[in-house]
Structure 1
Amino acid sequence: MRAEGEIAGAIDKARGASGNGETALARAKATHWTIEDSEELYRINGWGDPYFSINAAGHVTVSPRGDRGGSLSLYELVDALKQRNLNLPLLLRFPDILEDRIERLNACFAKAIARYNYPGYYRGVYPVKCNQHRHLLEDLVRFGQPHQFGLEAGSKPELLIALASLNTPNALLICNGYKDREYIETAILARRLGKIPIIVIEQLEEVQLVIEASRKLGVEPIVGVRAKLSTKGVGRWGGSTGDRAKFGLTVPEILQAVDELREAELLSSLQLLHFHIGSQISAIGAIKDAIREASQIYVELAKLGANMNYLDVGGGLGVDYDGSKTNFYASKNYNMQNYANDIVAEVKEACTERNLPVPTLVSESGRAIASHQAVLVFDVLSCSDVPTGAEEPASEGEHLIIRNLWETCQSISVENYQEAFHDATQFKDEAISLFNFGYVSLTQRAKAERLYWACCEKILAIARQQEYVPDDLEDLEKIMASIYYVNLSVFQSAPDSWAIDQLFPIMPIHRLNEEPTCRATLADLTCDSDGKIDQFIDLRGEIKSVLELHPFKQGEPYYLAIFLSGAYQEIMGSLHNLFGDTNAVHIKMTPTGYQIEHVVKGDTMTEVLSYVQYDAEDLIESVRKQSEQALQEKRITLQESRRLMQNYEQSLRRYTYLSST
């Protein structure tokens, strides 16, 4: 049995964690907290290697070139950017990371090709849908040139971007998505520009559109077919495969497409097989099974007379968001080299058995390339704690319900803490019921609630010391958690967190040499109950409902960051409550430090209002007229009217997020 002094110490520690201040015990313990403790708590070595780590000052550092050296403190970087009048939230983009990801992917395939004596090539493409922002795409095309890295377009607008941006000789332009006649004609004519556009047939109707466009233009297209594999994906997108998948052709439909192309004397145009078993594949076994099935379809198409040259394995290369290296949906149980090895080995085996030339291998890895390069930094504005405080003794004259709560609170121990929780909950519910019927005053109800929370505080302190937490106390940590109000919109900057419960690494970027004694959930700026983050990565590769944070000190900046958010989040964000795009800064490493390559200012209020068809001048004029009318009726002074109009016009020119100054 734990000594009473230890229990009291645990309770004191919990009290320090639940409020803004720290107890003497918590402060003393904080001196023993190390950056290694923070590394373990936030799993930064699992999901951040080789780009993110913690330095001796307790700051998160970024090494954009990975193992090749050069790093900087995110905290110092943010302070320097704030001095340039760039307010938080700030999206930091590191193009050096983007370059490193492309190089690593190509190096892995080069190593696999050498290991298995694969007599073919790898030609990667980046799916534009993953992040279409111009500066990022221009960087990606430039970094990809040594590797003949291409682009994949999934829509007509993305095709227009890809045609204008991709100028790399021998790079592929994969044309996916729904297609009309104009899309297909544009893609075919791109061959006249020296590009290699491959039109991937996703719907059987597209075959005739391709045939007609080819005859009309007198240009032979390069065609691929997307197969609906029977192999099932795993994780959140596992249902995007199979006979009822949204895109692709079944095996009978593929054979029909072959017949139609042969009849049109265009079977030689069929050069690529494509498949996709879903994004963020967490288990390498699913990838192996899909490659095995697709390889057999590929060799059969070659036997049918198609001029097969390319096998496009689609996307799916996962990102280890929680650092657990497991087949958990937010992780993956393989690395990039495993991925490349299995693809190369399976395809070579299938082609060797049929005595066929091997194809050029193509992958559409967007998430694995773009995720790491973006970090969203935001500040904490305030926090809200459960209403605990000093235990208030109950006198003899107090209401029985208050005396019962007081006695329960005094009797809590390691032996009875679970029973005490049920008793305290029952007494609190009875107090509310008595209040509703008028038998307990508002003051008495408040005292009862404070005693209830004091009971929960003691119980939680004891529960944290146990190896096993009873099921009925599992939610107590979340119930007792603080709410940290943060300067961002989840719907704009981390929409997958809200929409599909995607886990992202979230942690402070400083004070990491101090013990984070608070447990909290995050609430954003929107007036929406869903505007929160209450799921976080856990030490055991699971999910926890609270995040360990440091006590919030009013008047002092406290910066948090969402990592690995460079894929999909920016482009899928919404204007909920009219919070717009954040400030974005592109940071490039130099021999002497870093330089700011690009600053993309976030939306002003005028800009977001224009998205919903409001004209700023019309709004100003409307408020001016109302102000003049109020002046005439002496409901407002001239000084008040001037201040109102000044604030109104200044607000229209400013950032949609809150200023900490």
Structure 2
Amino acid sequence: MSTDQWTISRSKVVYGLDRNDLHFLDIDEKGDLLLRIGDHTISFKEIAKLVEKQNGNSAGYTSSFTLRIPQLITYQMKKLKAAFAQAIEKTDYKGEFNAVYPVKVNQRYDCVMPVLASDPNYGLEAGTKAELFLIKSVTEEEKHRLIICNGAKDPEYLQSIKQCVEEGYNLTVSVESLHEAKMIVELLDPDKSTIVLRIKPYLMVRGHWSHSAGRDSKFGLSIHDLFDVIELLKENGFTNSVTTILGHVGSQITAMDDFLKFSKFMTRIYYEVREMGLTSVKTIDFGGGLPIDYTSSHPPDLMNQYADALLEGILSELDEIGGDIEHPNILTESGRGITALGSAVVVKALEVRSVFPSSGQKISQERQQERDRCISEMRETTSVAELLELWNEFHSQHGHSTGSVKDLLENEYLIGDVRREVRRQLARISTPGIRPEKLVESIWHPDYLAIGNFSVFNAACDYVLVNQHFPIVPIQDLHVRPETTVRLVDITCDSDGELSQFHRKGTGEIWWSRDYRPLTMRTDDMGQGIPVGYLKNVQGSYFVIALTGAYQDVIEADHNLLGDLPDVEIIVTEDGEWKIKWTAGAQKMEDLLADAGYVGFDIDEDPYMSD
């Protein structure tokens, strides 16, 4: 593919923009990355300039920042409700749909309040005593909102629940063990209590968090405990207090047939607990699991498929049971699917470092002859296997230098030149079905490091913890065929401080960068290296790490005493005016040291790099 054939449409495919859960990112004709909300756009270049212009002298200013986008939280909430409304209408479903937001996903005030502001009937879920107090404070004037109390419970937690009910909050408490059930019947009033039976889903699903379901799950009642708990509740006057059954199969479930199985399982439980006398059970709470499309590779109607799968499972199971059974109301506890879009980390590239010396340098005649011989032989190869055999042979001879520093330098010139030629020849002879095996990936591995003014551990810690992929996009030069790929590394003193994963989209054929690294593959594949348009423009520019609004704020780590980046909120008014609000500067070194037990400092500066 020649450079002339490159289009902005191709760049959108490469980075997964303007579709699915990156629908809010677009590219203008100049190749600049845009934030899109509704019909309005603004470039990230302009956002960065405005942030610096308005707040460059503010305490805690540093060049990178977290961009809060509350209107995208609203968008996701409306999208979820619309998906269920459509599913209910087309199936003539008789039950109602409602949703709660589990605050554990992001307890920040600037995340929870947009949820409440977006829908007067949206509920909240607490998993701890502290989260219950958080929810109580933000719903004090809206006590009609449903509050679900999950998590491990002690008498103090249950007393807090009891007090909330007495104060008029619409609160329901889950039972997750026989021990909890005994405390509940002892401490709570059956006439004033609403109870959820949280049940282990006895099935297997796919995904990183699949262990949230099945016999070994840490959550919910085992099937033998379920019968004992029901008897205990009935014996103590709580028969009519139980209104809901709850199951949770894990986070980020992308296989919709797993939701179908889950729905059928929960519907069978719904029917049978009602047959056991709990006729006040009218709701199935399906917990979380609604996925985010971090790779822009799933169907665009994933949320609709999710709603359809749950309803299909209910209706098919009820049909199989037979009889005139009341359709249950549906409740979900989606968190990631609601707030992931709500923030992005905008990272300034401080410098670019090269792994290899630049080509064209003068080397010894012996090495020059070796270089020319290797390159000549590689240009004659007719298969990938033959080419890789030559590379292996060369690398076994020159991969490790034991001579002087000058000898090492010349050797690096030689290896860099030959490696560049291997990439070129791979692009020439590779078939669409070339497999990115370990050796091939090592040849495609980026030669450049972009040093970002951030900490992976603070901004996107899930990458380190569970290898969670986050889409990363440079903010400029997106109109040209990428010159090369780079590794985005942070300023921590830790080798894990790097975000270099890049999801190569399946395009049927490989699209190559100008230095012959794959930008796409025949089928979807996860590789290394973020494509950049012009390498010379990377230093001083920015990368956007998208979809960080779920979990990253609450599991962050202050590794190397690098704390929070500045927070910047952006909204667009109905008339298209963009409003950028500086809400907090970067965390001060004084506060970070105090958190570690070192007091008495008077340091206003943050620990990030200054310009």
Please state if 1:444 is matched with 2:407: yes
- What's the counterpart of residue 50 of structure 2? 80
* TM-score, normalised via structure 2 length: 0.89
Q: How many angstroms apart in 1 are the aligned matches of 2:270 and 2:438?
A: 55
SS at match of 1:389: coil
Alignment of 1:403-418 (within 5 A): 404-405=370-371, 407-409=373-375, 411-415=377-381, 417-418=387-388
User: C-alpha displacement at 1:47, in angstroms?
Assistant: 3.9
Match of 2:108 in 1: 133
Does the C-alpha gap of structure 1 residues 73 and 482 become closer, same or farther in structure 2, counting only changes over 3 Å? same
Q: 1:477 to 1:616 in 2, by over 3 A?
A: farther
Preserved CA contact (<8 Å) 2:261 2:313: no
Of the two structures, which has the highest relative contact order with CA contacts closer than 8 Å and spacing of 6 or more? 2
Post-superposition CA distance 1:373-406 (Å, at most 9, x none): 21111011112222242153543xx5xx775455
Match of 1:657 among 605, 608, 611: 608
**Counterpart of 2:429 in structure 1: which amino acid?**
Q
For 1:440-519, what aligned pairs fall within 5 Å after superposition? 441-468=404-431, 469=434, 471=437, 473-519=439-485
**Aligned match of 1:117 in 92, 97, 120?**
92
Structure 2 Cα separation of the partners of residues 555 and 36 of structure 1: 22
Aligned: 1:157 with 2:130: yes
Q: Percent identity?
A: 25
Shift of 1:102: 0.9
Letter in 2 for 1:446: L
Partner of 2:305 in structure 1?
338
| Equivalent-residue separation in structure 2 for 1:135 and 1:585 (angstroms) | 11
| Partner in structure 1 of residue 521 of structure 2 | none
> Would the alpha carbon gap of residues 30 and 88 (structure 1) be closer, same or farther in structure 2, given more than 3 Å must change?
farther
Question: What does 1:50-69 align with in structure 2 at a 5 Å threshold?
Answer: 50-65=23-38, 69=39
Alpha-carbon deviations, 1:105-152, whole Å to 9, x = none?
11111222222222221110001001000122112112121xx11001
Decide which moves more: 219-228 or 154-163: 219-228
Letter of the aligned partner of 1:602 in structure 2?
A
Matched with 1:15 is none
Higher mean displacement: 600-609 or 407-416: 407-416
Opposite residue 74 of structure 2, the aligned amino acid is: E
Aligned residue pairs total: 576
Equivalent position of 2:594 in the other structure = 610
1:195 aligns with 2:169: yes
How much has 1:243 moved relative to structure 2? Answer: 1.1
Sort the Cα spacing of 1:592 and 1:414 in 2 relative to 1 into closer, same or farther, 3 A: same
Matching residue of 2:565? 582
Check whether the contact 1:159–1:175 (CA below 8 A) recurs between aligned residues: yes
Q: How far apart, in 1, do the equivalents of 2:546 and 2:22 lie? A: 12
CA contact (8 A) 2:487 2:498 kept: yes
- SS of 2:237's equivalent in the other structure is coil
Which has the larger share of helix? 1
> Using the alignment, how far apart are the partners of 1:248 and 1:165 within structure 2?
28
Report the CA distance shift for 1:169/1:405 in structure 2 as closer, same or farther (over 3 A): same
Query: Does residue 360 of structure 1 match 2:311?
Result: no
What is the TM-score normalised by the length of structure 1?
0.82
Whether the 8 Å contact between 1:402 and 1:447 is mirrored in structure 2 is no
Report Cα offsets for 1:497-529 as digits up to 9, x if no partner: 111111111111222123321222121110011
1:231 deviates by 1.6
Q: Any idea what the Cα deviations from partners look like across 1:188-220, whole Å, max 9, x if unmatched?
A: 2222232221111112210011111115xx863
Question: Where does the alignment leave 5 or more consecutive residues of structure 2 unmatched?
Answer: 507-523
Indicate if the aligned counterparts of 1:284 and 1:339 stay in contact, CA closer than 8 A.
yes
Relative to 1, partners in 2 of residues 1:310 and 1:451: Cα closer, same or farther, differing over 3 Å?
Answer: same
Alignment of 1:195-594 (within 5 A): 195-215=169-189, 220-306=192-278, 307-325=280-298, 335-351=302-318, 353-385=322-354, 386-390=356-360, 392=362, 394-395=364-365, 404-405=370-371, 407-409=373-375, 411-415=377-381, 417-429=387-399, 432-433=401-402, 435=403, 441-468=404-431, 469=434, 471=437, 473-540=439-506, 541-553=524-536, 557-590=540-573, 591-594=575-578
Q: CA RMSD in A?
A: 2.3
| Cα deviation digits, residues 550-570 of structure 1 (max 9, x gap) | 344379621101111110011
Cα distance, 1:539 vs structure 2 = 1.3
Higher Rg: 1
Structure 1 match to 2:510: none
For residues 588 and 519 of structure 1, the distance between their equivalents in structure 2, rounded to whole angstroms, comes to: 32
Q: Cα deviations across residues 298-357 of structure 1 (Å, max 9, x unaligned)?
A: 11111111120221000001111111117xxxxxx9611121122234334545734232
C-alpha distance in structure 2 between counterparts of 1:506 and 1:152, whole Å = 31
**Unmatched tracts of structure 1, length 5 or more:** 1-9, 11-28, 327-332, 436-440, 621-651
